Amino acid sequence: MAALRPLNTAFASLERILGVRLVLALAIAGALAAPAGAATHANGVDVSHYQGLINWAQVAGSSYRFTFAKASEGVTLVDATYPVNRAGAEGMGLRFGAYHFGRPSGTGPATITASAIAQADHFIGIAQPQAGELPPVLDLEATGGLSPTNLAMWTSAWMDEVKARTGVSSFIYASPNFWKDKLSNTAAFALGGYRLWVAHWTSGTSPLVPASNWGGLGWTFWQWTDCAKVPGFLNCVDGDRYAGPDPGPLAIGTYATGPPATSVPPTIVGSAKVGTVLSAVPGTWGGGKPVSFTCQWEQCDAAGANCVPISSATGETYKAAAADSGHALVAVVSASSTGGTAVAASPPTLAVGSGGSGSVTRPVATTAPSIVGTVVAGQQLTASVGTWTGSPTSFAYQWQRCDASGTSCAAIPGAVSSGYTLTPGDIGATLSLVVTATGGGGSQAATALATGLVAAAAVPAPVPGSLAAVAGQAGAVSTADSRATVTWQPGAVPDGATVTLVPGERAPALKGTGVVLGVSGATILPWPVDIAFAAAPPAGSVIGYSTDGVVWRPA
């Protein structure tokens, strides 16, 4: 991108020289145009303050359909032309998106992560991505001296923070050579579903695409030249192309509403040693978007219990002090959206030890966690933690209830042990599991693949009169005259409670039905039971249990 040319590699500079020569040759021939095949792709431009004043009406009138504008750089720089370009482009009907020029930095996992999160937060504060706009873009052209492994860590932390706050997966802008040389041609981001805006200046019909054709996904946007002649610009501008006739389907959808809800808990990066910087990662949240995060660090006993807030420790990072020695630390994250605020805490660190030169690494899952068991109501599922590097010493669990596709998940309150018994509320859903491993280098979460759809337990033949509920089993009771039958799924009736169903209209009865239902020792049930009648009950009858959990309504 224009603002970053001084940082381009020698190869990229050579590409630029060749691109300019090509433009000159085409101009001499009187045929300055996009490369062959442009008719099948939407044309666009990317801009920053380097372009100066832009006549967006002329740009739109020349069949350009989208633009990306620079919003921010590093942790402090703001492109002053961003709001002007945004208003001008959108006012003329162009699809608009924002990009951040990354300035990676850091000396270890905690400071690398903190740098990425701070820059992502800075970008969101300036860009403020809106529904209907194109997804955010991370422009990678600088390494900050980071190794490929650490640069990938920085990139992942930036992308994760933007997604946590907006629910939107960002794009990555990079040249093929940069990706190959500076990120070891990793395909991890492609496999994670992040799409590529490739910068390859060529007159060919297609660009070079790194990471094995970006994991088979190919390019989504292509910056094919740094010197397109476009009406509305005083000088040439970066020319781009979308891999299709209209980038509209990529636009950010309507943001979710409601209060935030955690799905992957916060974690801590760094070694719990006196004088060492720790960084809090806010985790993943459902519910209302966009969301903002604040953090309160807490000091706990060595086992991670009895935690109290640490005065003035409210930043993304925290340097363990001498007073923390022998204590575990916890990061409590508050997530706020227009729909409300929710709070979640990280697993505790190990007890803070004395400083030292020993190197420890944050746990990383090399084999993902998995779920073992039969997905039928009443059956127990068991967590397999997978395999991890970083020598984790403890694991925390959070079971999730997901939609049928297994992609939209929410934490199940209280489901935090290694086993989980499926309830009637899980029927028709899928289940997932987040395992958080904690070791000397901090904590990290990994998510198991979702199960198949949870099925209802088979209901046995009804027993006349009464039946005691058995753990893990469905049940059925009929009246002696077979006028009605009540059935329930495992967990809807307390284990061992006796269910009775007899003819009558006495209280407490199901109004107008001619039957009396009883559950010993219970007046409120967590899930409804079902009552079927041999003949249609009278109009106005109260049948079954209401959704507010009340077992019956008195006659």
- Whole-angstrom distance, CA of residue 486 vs CA of residue 463: 10
Q: Which of 105, 99, 127 is nearest to 118 (CA)?
A: 105
Q: Which of 474, 456, 475 is nearest to 464 (CA)?
A: 475
Residue 217 corresponds to which amino acid?
A: L
Q: Which ranges in the chain are annotated with CATH 2.60.40.2700? A: 254-359, 361-456
pLDDT per residue, tens digit, the chain (555 aa), is 643 333 333 323 323 322 332 232 323 233 333 444 445 899 999 999 999 999 999 999 999 999 999 999 999 999 999 999 999 999 999 999 999 999 999 999 999 999 999 999 999 999 999 999 999 999 999 999 999 999 999 999 999 999 999 999 999 999 999 999 999 999 999 999 999 999 999 999 999 999 999 999 999 999 999 999 999 999 999 999 999 999 999 999 999 999 999 989 999 999 999 999 999 999 999 999 999 999 999 999 999 999 999 999 999 999 999 999 999 999 999 999 999 999 999 999 999 987 654 567 889 999 999 999 999 999 999 999 999 998 999 999 999 999 999 988 989 999 999 999 999 999 999 999 999 999 988 999 999 999 999 999 999 999 999 999 999 999 999 999 998 888 899 999 899 999 999 887 765 556 667 788 888 887 677 787 888 888 776 666 555 443 344 433 322
- Whole-angstrom distance, CA of residue 489 vs CA of residue 475: 7
The string of DSSP codes covering 523-542 is SB-SS--EEEESSPPPTT--
- Name the phi and psi angles at 202, rounded to 5: -155, 155
Residue 208 corresponds to which amino acid?
A: L
334 near 343, Cβ under 8 Å?
A: yes
Q: In CATH, what is the architecture of 361-456?
A: Sandwich (2.60)
Q: Which of 493, 490, 547 is nearest to 517 (CA)?
A: 493
Residue 305 burial (C-beta neighbours within 10 Å; 0-12, 13-18, 19+):
exposed
Name residue, tokens 């400071």: 111
386: left (phi over 0), alpha (psi -120 to 50) or beta: left
Confidence (pLDDT) at 519: 86
517 near 542, Cβ under 8 Å?
A: no
Structure tokens at 332: 């409590």
- Whole-angstrom distance, CA of residue 553 vs CA of residue 188: 57
Q: Which of 62, 21, 64, 68 is nearest to 202 (CA)?
A: 21
48 near 3, Cβ under 8 Å?
A: yes
Confidence (pLDDT) at 14: 26
- Whole-angstrom distance, CA of residue 50 vs CA of residue 234: 11
Task: Find the angle CA(121)-CA(285)-CA(300) to the nearest 5 degrees.
Answer: 85
Using DSSP's 3-state secondary structure scheme, residue 420 falls into strand
- Whole-angstrom distance, CA of residue 385 vs CA of residue 408: 21
472 near 379, Cβ under 8 Å?
A: yes
407 near 358, Cβ under 8 Å?
A: no
pTM, two decimal places:
0.80
Q: Which of 416, 371, 372 is nearest to 397 (CA)?
A: 416
Confidence (pLDDT) at 356: 53
Superfamily of domain covering 2-200+207-245: Glycosidases (3.20.20.80)
Using DSSP's 3-state secondary structure scheme, residue 6 falls into helix
- Whole-angstrom distance, CA of residue 418 vs CA of residue 273: 29
Confidence (pLDDT) at 509: 55
Q: Which of 483, 485, 475, 479 is nearest to 464 (CA)?
A: 479
CATH number assigned to the domain covering 254-359: 2.60.40.2700
Residue 113 corresponds to which amino acid?
A: T
Q: Which ranges in the chain are annotated with CATH 3.20.20.80? A: 2-200+207-245
- Whole-angstrom distance, CA of residue 459 vs CA of residue 492: 13
Confidence (pLDDT) at 207: 97
Q: Where are the alpha helices (DSSP H) in 46-108?
A: 56-61, 82-91
